[in-house]
Amino acid sequence: MQIRLGYDIRFQNNADVPFIAMLSVHPSRQKDLREPDFLQTDPQVRVEQYIDVFGNICSRFLAPPGDIRLSSSSLIEDSGAPDPVCFQARQHPLMDLPPETLRFLLASRYCETDLLSDTAIGLFGNTTPGWPRVQAIVDWVHNYVTFGYQFARPTKTALDVFRERQGVCRDFQHLAISFCRCMNIPARYATGYLGDIGVPASPAAMDFSAWFEVYLDDRWWAFDARHNQPRIGRVLMAVGYDAADVALTTSFGPAMLCSFSVVTDEVKPITAAA
């Protein structure tokens, strides 16, 4: 299947403002693109791309005073299959984990493993290691945290989510990530496109989505504590310790967001007329 991806974001600045944007499809999915995935700006400015420490594509540019529009439209080929599931995926003993995964066991800006460790052990210490343990964590967060855009707060951490039992999609993921790390399962935050493909359409405006990935049985697997079901058409953009590492845009100066829209729609094949 093919999916149309895109965004249209507008800011207003009172002066020159440097920006870093993480709006590109992740390098692991670049081979699937059927149209270029370029960040376009209006007015046109010089955009410099680089790869960050997590392997994400970042775009750096200087926005002039006034309005600036960031946009893109591309097409990607997708298998059309739901997220892979492997109930037998094993949890690695800590000493057998690849060195590059160990950093995803540590506390981070929004994931306070030191403060949630006792709680995690009490809740999940008797679960079966591996996939069943991760699924138990996802089930708990999905069942005990209430979703609502009115609960969003940029400073909300995993501990806050545990105490308040409410949040937006990134908050669900932060709490699940923290619990996984407390149980010695490497977990990282992920963001990207996730349309309403194969599920009832949401009445809310389309947005970018957050999920998380865990390292089991020699590979990374996608989990989603908010939706808690395998989904079709998940397109990765960036990964990091938590949401602080994958901000869609970071401005180094005052910048007012004026509008924001995202497109992620399945492209239906054209059938020949009889």
Per-residue pLDDT of 135-156, as tens digits, reads 999 999 999 999 999 999 999 9
The bridge status of strand 17-21 relative to strand 249-251 is antiparallel
Question: Do 158 and 69 fall into the same domain?
Answer: no
CA separation for the pair 161, 213 (Å, rounded): 19
Please say whether the beta carbons of 9 and 206 come within 8 A. no
Which pLDDT belongs to residue 201? 85
Per the DSSP assignment, residues forming a β-bridge with 213 are 188, 222
| Mean pLDDT, residues 213-228 | 97
Q: Side-chain half-sphere of 189: how many Cα atoms within 13 Å?
A: 26
Question: Do 32 and 120 fall into the same domain?
Answer: no
Question: Do 234 and 102 fall into the same domain?
Answer: yes
CA separation for the pair 47, 21 (Å, rounded): 10
Question: Do 115 and 190 fall into the same domain?
Answer: yes
Q: What is the CATH number of the domain that holds 226?
A: 3.10.620.30
| Mean pLDDT, residues 67-71 | 97
Q: Which structural domain, as residue segments, surrounds residue 183?
A: 94-245
Question: Do 114 and 200 fall into the same domain?
Answer: yes
Tell me the one-letter amino acid at 90. R
Question: Do 36 and 128 fall into the same domain?
Answer: no
The bridge status of strand 166-167 relative to strand 146-147 is parallel
Q: Is the pLDDT of residue 103 over 70?
A: yes
CA separation for the pair 30, 108 (Å, rounded): 28
Q: How many domains does the chain fold into?
A: 2
Does a structural domain hold residue 86? no
Q: Is the pLDDT of residue 22 over 90?
A: yes
Which pLDDT belongs to residue 24? 97
Please say whether the beta carbons of 255 and 13 come within 8 A. yes
Question: Do 125 and 46 fall into the same domain?
Answer: no
Which pLDDT belongs to residue 272? 55
Per the DSSP assignment, residues forming a β-bridge with 3 are 76, 266
Please say whether the beta carbons of 89 and 217 come within 8 A. yes
Percent helix, strand and coil across the chain, each to the nearest 5: 25, 35, 40
pTM of the model: 0.94
Which pLDDT belongs to residue 204? 82
Question: Do 216 and 115 fall into the same domain?
Answer: yes
For the chain, what's the residue count? 274
Question: Do 131 and 46 fall into the same domain?
Answer: no
Nearest to 251 by CA among 68, 71, 53, 108: 68
- Cα R_g (the chain), whole angstroms: 19
